[in-house]
Amino acid sequence: MSEYSIIGKPTTNVDGVAKVTGEAVYTFDMTLPNMLYGKLLRSPHPHARIVSIDTSEAEKLPGVKAVITGKDTPGGKYGLWRRFRELADQEILATTKVRFIGDPVAAVAAISEDIAEKAVDLINVEYELLPAVFEPLEAIKDDAPLVHDDFENNINATRHIEWGNVDEAFKKADYVREDRFNLLTQHPAPMEVHSSIASYDKGSGRLTVWSSTQSPYFLQLGLADALKMREGNIRVIKPHVGGGFGGKNSTMPDSVNAAVLSMKTGRPVKIVFNREEEFSTTEHRTPMHLSIKIGLKKDGTLLAKEVKIITDGGAYTGLGATTLYLAGTWITFPYKTPNYRYDGFRTYTNKMWASSVRGFGAVSALYASETQIDRAAHDLGIDPIEIRRKNAMTPGYEAPGQYKVESCGLLPCIDKIEQRVKEKWARLDKDEGIGFAAFAYMSGGIFNWIDTPYAFSGAMVKVNIDGTVDLFTQASDIGQGTNTVSVMICAEELGIGIDDIRLHPADTATTLADLGAWGSRETLMNGNAIKAAADEVRDKLLDVARMKLGENIVYDLDAKDKRIYLALRPERGFSYYDIVKDAIKENDGEPLVGIGHYTPHRKGMVSPAYAMGIMGVRAKVDRETGQVEVKDVIVAHDCGQIINPLGARGQVEGSIQMGLGFGLCEDLPSENGMILNPSFVDYKLIRTREMPQIELFDVPTYDPEGPYGAKESAEATTAPTAPALANAIYNAVGVEFDSNVLRLEKVLKAIREKEEKGKGKGRR
Amino acid sequence: MANYHCPCCRKISSDPHDLARHFLGQTDSKHKDWLKTKGLSYAKLITSQVEFGNKGYDTLAEVLEKETKVKD
């Protein structure tokens, strides 16, 4: 029998009914009394100096209440990299020049969206066109136009990681190979577009913003910097959010412009991006040129790895500098790498900026490393599972000065996959292939580029006289199930039911700071904070019960099933509800409140804990058309103690869907900086009916840092999907690729080229 | 053991390569200007790292070893 009453039990989402009945309110749905609608005028040029802006015609249009340009803004620059102020490079509206097609130059507030849109068309901007740069390899050349004047060679950020003696290790290697990859982008494509409502109260000087954001706290800080306001005078409320997938971490033009327009008009202002704006002007996965060199012994033991990455950063920083660091880190996972060197360069280009998307650096990095290790295994005559087993990280593995892996279930995951693949995929049809990719991912990041003085997560628990509980947390549920996990943890600690708890989520005025939903951090970090807050209350209740029992301190008490009782004699105890009443009444009415917080300490530079696993993909390739059919997927995943198996399964399925999109069909091609497919008609996603069967094996470990031993369970399986598929395609028809997005025309071309060149297995 | 002091900030390192790593990780003008006084370019050192090998860091580490060693 499980030691837990609630943890580990499949639990439907606490907000599930509201969502499926349409009662859940998203920012997109909200209307405030006296509200105006805002629209943005965006640059049609990738790089141009603003000569003049004439707003007079727009201002004359009936129904228009305000028109603003850069000169109407407080002039503060903002961005997520607040610790390095030069990287906080965004403006509310461009003041001197525009840096990508879609850079906002003016904004309008009107009584309707239609009028606001008409007014935007009446604004006349005179531009002086500047030479533009679109490719990162061009951007770093000495004669390239500068996107930001202060950044030589358009180098926005660099990372160098090195341990061991790389050059000596390569000399000792029996086998060395180099591969180069061009990894394309992917849009987060959330169902709900970026949406914000800002309401400024001129009397108090306070601003309230409702926004579709992944982090109310990041948005509060971004607004404070942009508007030059005290952060305490800004309240951010996150209603239900229709997906983020990494694209809603930055403070974007919807919220800041709604705020400025509200300050000017004294009325609430709502800005909602249309789908074209969402695709063309919001953050997407960072594209990169990646070179990777590995040195191995004849038996497949990895001796050295060297990696160079140049990312196409676009016009601003966002979280792209973190992606650069993480890509260079994930590419060492999940293998023991005794000698490693990484150089990463993030370049500015005149395109919409690239940032984090589900998998945060790992998806592109592992596409390269997990296809390369298959190629090496092929050359050395080693089984692809065996080479992964030989180099797999084990508990306690440490990369000097970078990270330490405490719990690690990778080897059991490999054993499980090997066994299941032998059973399930013993016989393959013609042109079918199996491919594997191993993976690891963080359970929240140990990064403080936002420069917060607060704990990374905080939570408050208040117990009422009737035993009901108010749980206050700023953790962001963006559809991934954090609200449910939060309530489950609180209920488990207090020994009560989920129905006893009322959740007050994601409001900066009523909750303690939490860094938000990115890097799969909420379960571990917010979970630890809630657990600590609930424990504080629980200890108070247990003290009261102990007094009433008259037992001395050596007798442990449990709180479970709405009772508090002696652990060794469960029949001796009291109702939870009675103890709550006694605790409040007998202590002069002192409220039963607990506060908890969590910040990782002494856990290296990356994450406090790592999920691990391996995936197998079976695919069939049509040699006549190049069409790839993903038949089924088997994945073994160590995500520690699972809090909610229903939620964890959903996250794995969603990650695989997104990984398949990265591997097969999602891309944002552009011409001279213009996105060519900004709609769901032209941007191809993997749909439900195209999803393969997924067999999931949970191989849990206990991680001492996670609540109940829990780790990441939201993003990890995005990364192995595309490389496992690419390896399956190679094993099916003998063609391999140095890029993702394996559309049928690309696959067919490779098959034809291979046939023309004669026999043999591709380029390995 | 030799100690290498960053000429632009308070960073101290026992290894000139480690100090070079710190140096090129800084994007402020103080560090970049110091490089100019030694006839080096931040951008050129960085971009020389694009190819496999460690040329940019080796070059800077060599300069830092001569210029910044404080005591043994």
Q: What is the CATH number of the domain that holds A368?
A: 3.30.365.10
d(CA A115, CA A156) in angstroms, rounded, equals 39
Any domain includes A159: no
| A200 and A52 co-located in one domain | yes
Asked whether residue A240 is assigned to any structural domain, the reply reads: yes
Of A320, A551, A318, A597, the C-alpha closest to A453 is A597
User: Per-residue pLDDT tens for A372-426?
Assistant: 999 999 999 999 999 999 999 999 999 999 999 999 999 999 999 999 999 999 9
Distance of CA A711 to the CA centre of its chain: 15
Kindly identify which residue of chain B lies nearest to residue A310, measuring between CA atoms. Answer: B50
A471 and A579 belong to one structural domain = yes
A594 and A505 in one domain?
A: yes
- Say whether residue B14 is in contact with chain A using an 8 A CB cutoff: no
Q: CB B50 to CB A306 under 8 A?
A: no
Residue B59: which domain range?
3-71
Chain A residue closest in CA terms to B32: A152
Q: Please indicate, yes or no, whether residues A500 and A622 belong to a single structural domain of this protein.
A: no
Q: Any idea which of A89-103, A265-279, A730-744, A745-759 has the lowest mean pLDDT?
A: A745-759
Report the candidate in A315, A560, A600 with the shortest Cα–Cα distance to residue A456. A600
Q: Are residues A218 and A337 in the same domain?
A: no
The CATH number assigned to the domain holding A125 equals 3.90.1170.50
Say if residue A212 is in the same domain as residue A109: yes
Question: Exposure of A150 by Cβ count < 10 A (0-12 exposed, 13-18 middle, 19+ buried)?
Answer: exposed
Confidence of residue A256 (pLDDT cuts 50, 70, 90): very high
Domain count, chain B: 1
Q: Are residues A328 and A273 in the same domain?
A: no
**Chain A closest-CA separation from residue B2 CA (Å):** 20
Q: Which amino acid is at B55?
A: K
The mean per-residue pLDDT over the stretch A616-625 comes to: 98
Final residue of a structural domain among A598, A627, A662 = A598
User: Does A500 map to a domain?
Assistant: yes
Check if B69 contacts A (Cβ < 8 Å): no
Q: Are residues A664 and A620 in the same domain?
A: yes
Assess whether A288 and A304 both reside in one domain.
yes
A246 and A291 share one domain: no
Give tens-digit pLDDT for A141-187.
Answer: 989 999 999 898 999 999 999 999 999 999 999 999 999 999 999 99
The single-letter DSSP state of residue A526 is I
Q: Could you give the CA distance from residue A437 to residue A150 in angstroms, rounded to a whole number?
A: 41
Q: Which chain B residues are closer than 8 Å to A291 by Cβ?
A: 52
β-strands B3-5, B69-71 pairing:
antiparallel
Q: Does residue A121 sit in the same domain as residue A259?
A: yes
Tell me which of A574, A598, A622 is where a domain ends. A598
Domain that holds residue A477: 16-23+456-598
ipTM over 0.85: no
Query: Does the pLDDT of residue A1 top 60, yes or no?
Result: no
Contacts of B52 in chain A (CB under 8 A): 178, 291, 293, 306, 308
| Residues A153, B54: C-beta atoms closer than 8 Å | no
- The 10s digit of each residue's pLDDT in A186-198 is 999 999 999 999 9
Measured distance CA(A326)–CA(A321) in Å, rounded = 9
CB contact under 8 A, A158 and B46: yes
Q: pLDDT digits over A193-246, tens only?
A: 999 999 999 999 999 999 999 999 999 999 999 999 999 999 999 999 999 999
Separation of alpha carbons A601 and A438, rounded Å: 28
Residues of chain B positioned with their CB less than 8 A from the CB of A155: 43, 46-47
Structural domain count of chain A: 3
Q: Residue A152's closest chain B neighbor by CA?
A: B43
Most B CBs within 10 A among A343, A346, A348, A605, hence the mutation to make, goes to: A343
Closest CA to A669 of A308, A449, A418, A352: A352
* φ/ψ (deg, to 5) at A165: -120, 90
Q: A757: pLDDT confidence band, cut at 50, 70 and 90?
A: confident
Question: In this structure, are A624 and A592 located in the same domain?
Answer: no
**Is position A630 within any domain?**
yes
Distance from CA of A72 to the nearest CA of B (A): 30
CB contact under 8 A, B43 and A157: no
**Does residue A162 belong to any structural domain of this protein?**
no
Q: What pTM was estimated for this model as a whole?
A: 0.96
From A281, A305, A331, give the residue that closes a domain. Answer: A281
DSSP class of residue A604 equals B
Residue A47, in any domain of the structure: yes
A138 domain residue, yes or no: no
Query: What does the pLDDT look like over A295-348, one tens digit per residue?
Result: 999 999 999 999 999 999 999 999 999 999 999 999 999 999 999 999 999 999
Residues of A with CB below 8 A from B21's CB? 160, 162
Residue A542 has pLDDT above 50, yes or no: yes
Residue A11 lies in a domain: no
